[in-house]
Amino acid sequence: MEKNAEKKRIVLVPFPLQGHITPMMQLGQALNLKGFSITVALGDSNRVSSTQHFPGFQFVTIPETIPLSQHEALGVVEFVVTLNKTSETSFKDCIAHLLLQHGNDIACIIYDELMYFSEATAKDLRIPSVIFTTGSATNHVCSCILSKLNAEKFLIDMEDPEVQNKVVENLHPLKYKDLPTSGMGPLERFLEICAEVVNKRTASAVIINTSSCLESSSLSWLKQELSIPVYPLGPLHITTSANFSLLEEDRNCIEWLNKQKPRSVIYISVGSIAHMETKEVLEMAWGLYNSNQRFLWVIRPGTESMPVEVSKIVSERGCIVKWAPQNEVLVHPAVGGFWSHCGWNSTLESIVEGVPMICRPFNGEQKLNAMYIESVWRVGVLLQGEVERGGVERAVKRLIVDDEGVGMRERALVLKEKLNASVRSGGSSYNALDELVHYLEAEYI
């Protein structure tokens, strides 16, 4: 345990959705193991109740912010804008209260890049601040590029196939068409968010949940572009066990997996936000059925509905749960592939277990991850266009039955080794975490 860090407090400000809270809690656990005390400030009091796995952590609510229930109604971009507008004052009160409670032992505020309102409080109260990017480094690069574009001109330019296929300078293989804008609402509004996210204000460093073995060129680009240190210290879930599941995990699926043959099961999950149309669900179910493979399917409560025909098929060849213990599922020997929406956490979790993927991304950043999975790391197949049973069947066979899938698995296993090495003593992510800790100690002194 680092002497200077002993008992010094870090305040974490996660964005209140599962895919963002999880890596922030993992970061909290990693810093806690290095000797820091952790306070988590959440804008939604309901979320504060899911704290049973973090007995040493303090949880506080940022009062009077926009309720999370507005997220679906507003869409993510408007939700982020409104959340940032409504939270600044109450966050300052919250931190001022913490300072009274803990004396002056707050070493740093680490906030999710989408919680950029936090910076004003850090500056006013003279507390060092660090930004945490929970998505990929490449996505952050894209935000930097997008923040400089003019929406109207970009839309016109993108009608030209030559522009679409142009490689972004120094960022091979990233092309302009890969910039993650689709499904993010009006482009102009989205670019405003990108500008907020890349504006580092007075923050003194950026943490990214990635490893240099996955995204070396994007990380080099960021290290040159940003005038503050960048710490790629992921994948955090390898070394931490932080589980902040907002839904109850159904562990019966592990018993079901125990009864299946090695590498025979396709695991299907579209993360914590996306949902599929009923028509897609039906086509998927038939495609899976026709592929002769077993499947474990996560269908969250209140999302896609399951037609009666599908239920019949499923009871024969599949298992459906409302929420799965995903990391345990991915490590299970029966799992041969992952049908994923390619959220960044799911992407990392799958690669870390050497599981190849069928990529079915929903919007911007997920499409970017899918492009990397298929074309850069070559550990998955991208399913484009409308979902129809024939395409689903072919994709499943390519992954689980054909030699092509064997190659993907081999490459995924090589990446798995590299990722594990990066978080072990002397590895790049291990060193990045150490450097961050030294930096936080120095900042505080």
Q: Contact positions toward ligand UDX, by CB under 6 A?
A: 17-20, 22, 135, 245, 269, 271-274, 298, 323-324, 326-327, 343-346, 349, 365-366
Beta strands, E only, 308-417: 318-321, 335-340, 357-359, 380-382
Tokens found for residue 5: 């860090």
Closest to ligand UDX by CB, 29 vs 272, is 272
Tokens found for residue 365: 């950043």
Tokens found for residue 75: 């869409």
CB of 430 to ligand UDX, least distance (A): 21
Tokens found for residue 64: 């009077």
CA pair distance 298, 282, nearest whole angstrom: 14
CB of 274 to ligand UDX, least distance (A): 6
Instruction: List CB contacts of 324: < 8 A, sequence separation 6 or more.
Output: 249, 250, 253, 267, 269, 296, 298
Closest to ligand UDX by CB, 176 vs 344, is 344
Closest to ligand UDX by CB, 18 vs 431, is 18
Beta carbons of 207 and 231 less than 8 angstroms apart: yes
Closest to ligand UDX by CB, 365 vs 393, is 365
Torsional class of 328: left (φ above 0), alpha (ψ -120 to 50), beta (otherwise): alpha
Beta bridge partners of 267: 296, 338
Closest to ligand UDX by CB, 298 vs 355, is 298
CB of 323 to ligand UDX, least distance (A): 4
Closest to ligand UDX by CB, 113 vs 283, is 113
CB of 76 to ligand UDX, least distance (A): 8
Tokens found for residue 432: 């990045």
Closest to ligand UDX by CB, 19 vs 35, is 19
Closest to ligand UDX by CB, 260 vs 345, is 345
Beta bridge partners of 106: 9
CB of 359 to ligand UDX, least distance (A): 12
Tokens found for residue 444: 């505080």
Q: Is 321 helix (H, G, I), strand (E, B) or coil?
A: strand
If you compute the radius of gyration of the chain from its CA atoms, what whole number of angstroms results?
Answer: 22
CB of 364 to ligand UDX, least distance (A): 8
CB of 9 to ligand UDX, least distance (A): 26
Q: What is each CA distance from 430 to 12, 21, 28, 292, 437, in whole angstroms?
A: 20, 21, 15, 42, 11
CA pair distance 237, 186, nearest whole angstrom: 34
Q: What is each CA distance from 168 to 151, 163, 174, 224, 382, in whole angstroms?
A: 17, 10, 6, 16, 22
Closest to ligand UDX by CB, 16 vs 287, is 16
CB of 139 to ligand UDX, least distance (A): 8
